[in-house]
A and B are shown apart, each in its own frame.
Chain A
Amino acid sequence: MKLKVLIGALVWTLLVSVAHVHLNYGFDQVREIVREWLGYKRKTLEVGFIPVT
């Protein structure tokens, strides 16, 4: 019985955590955070423009 409660609590916590990440951050942002932890940095380039052809 105790094991069932423990597993149930863990599954519930996991589901709530996944839902929280999805709703408040989005998986793209989480992926970015993980990539930064792993030392990968995106190359960035700022490009200027005037809204005219």
Chain B
Amino acid sequence: MTTHSETGSVFASRKFSEFATIKESLIARRMDASFILAPLAMQLVASGVPIKIVYLGHRDGTTLMVAKDSPVTDFAGLRGKKIAIPNRFSNQNVLMHRMMKKWGMSFDSIKLVELPPPEHPTALASGSIDGYIVGEPFPAQAELDGIGRPLYFTKDMWPGFISCVLVVRQELIDEQRELVQELVDGIAKSGKWLDEALEHRMDAAEIVGKHFYFQDPELLKFVLSKPPDRVKYTSLAPLKKDFDEIMELAVEMGVLKERLEFEQYVDTSFVAPLETLDWGFESLPQPTAEAPAK
């Protein structure tokens, strides 16, 4: 682990526990870059905050959980139930409405309540909610604790699901474009390395769990391997068709008041074709013959 990139730039991560504080930090320009919920990014742009989505954080990686002993076996069974979502401006909220449409249910047939992600497993355990939909590792935590079971993974409901996106302030793009490019390239390279071998994911879980997330590495290993396509770190370019669908649904649900054009909130100019990137993988640990990918 190094403290700076290959070119010497320092990327420091700043951990938050809920999205409201991230939003305030971006608005007040106490921070120029962050991973936030996709519809929240759209909403910030709609309200005049000069930010752009430049890349995705991952694809899939969200799970719809119900209590372990719940009789619910499919989405229709959630009718009349209380389900927690991480935020009104989350794509999990959009997904629940997309599923309600698909299953021919009215938008008020499931009661959706906002809860900060870390509180989802405890709320399910206490019985105050019937289920929750949130990004990992909070679903896996309930699974490992024996209090919840996955009803659906996003890969089975909305393949290639987008949850968090990387946004940067326009001033940063204008003033330090090369730094944004370096960050995006770094995420692309990390993602390719992560999806290359399960052994890489296990190594990453150890480092991230201990030094960044401050979560049990075994929990993260579970998330990254059970099943391996529970979350993906490749195909992270922001695509117009994906965001147009989110925008349409968000407006239909009333989460966003106005429709924005893709170019108003996304800057695709940082997405380099993968074959043009200098991966520099030779400097990273390689899978060994003695310890093949599990």
Give residues in A with beta carbon < 8 Å to B.
Answer: 28, 42-53
Contact = CB atoms under 8 A, between A and B. Distances in A.
7 A-B pairs with least C-beta separation:
A48-B34, A53-B61, A52-B135, A51-B213, A53-B135, A44-B10, A43-B9
A49 to B, nearest CB: 5
Contacts of A50: 15-19, 22, 35, 117, 164
A51 to B, nearest CB: 4
Given A52-B136, A53-B137, A47 B164 contact: no
B183 A47 contact: yes
Given A28-B3, A42-B4, A43-B176, A49 B9 contact: no
Nearest to A51: B213
Contacts, number: 93
Interface of B is mostly: mixed
11 contacts: A45-B32, A45-B172, A46-B32, A47-B34, A48-B13, A48-B22, A50-B22, A51-B15, A52-B137, A53-B135, A53-B136
A48 B31 contact: yes
* Contact-size category for B: 35 or more
B15 A42 contact: no
Contacts of B31: 46-48
B10 A42 contact: yes
A45 B33 contact: yes
Given A42-B9, A44-B10, A49 B137 contact: no
Contacts of A44: 9-12
A47 B172 CA distance: 12
Interface string B78-95: 000000001000000000
B163 interface: yes
B179 interface: yes
B57 interface: yes
Contacts of B16: 48-50
